[in-house]
Amino acid sequence: MIGAYAAVGFASSTGSKVIWSTNPVTIKFTATTGSSSGSATDFFKCAPPVTNVVLLTSVSSTKIKLTVAPTSQATCGPSYDGETLTAMCQTMNAAQCRGTYTGTVTVHRSSPYGNTIPPSLTVNIVVN
């Protein structure tokens, strides 16, 4: 029976999960000439805690760029860390950005090529 408990303890220490304070997050902004962007803040932690994590973004269209700051953390958990998410229009004509898009923020161990720690954050981007 001791072996079973040891196996469970080992599995939980290597199977971290990300806990987002809000998931999904919505960013809304108006497409205007000049600076068309919007931001939101979310908080996350890992359970059990993990060291050296990197956050990567992706978005459903090349019209929109999604960034996160900071892009890395020395520790993830046990406390929540704040992240600023910014979505911005990438076209010459801001009106071309109008629409609804979906972005994702994923947390990786150690480097952008490290294992993904689930779940990812879904970012709904609404451009009016």
pLDDT in tens, 101-114: 999 999 999 999 99
pLDDT value of residue 6: 40
**In whole angstroms, what is the distance from residue 12 CA to residue 19 CA?**
15
pLDDT value of residue 52: 96
Residue ranges in the chain modelled with pLDDT below 70: 1-14, 34
pLDDT value of residue 7: 39
pLDDT value of residue 14: 56
pLDDT value of residue 8: 37
Cα–Cα–Cα angle for 36, 41, 42, rounded to 5 degrees: 140
pLDDT value of residue 95: 87
pLDDT value of residue 79: 96
**In whole angstroms, what is the distance from residue 23 CA to residue 108 CA?**
18
The kind and range of the H/E element at 109 are strand 99-109
Contact of 54 with 71, CB cutoff 8 Å = yes
pLDDT value of residue 12: 36
pLDDT value of residue 15: 87
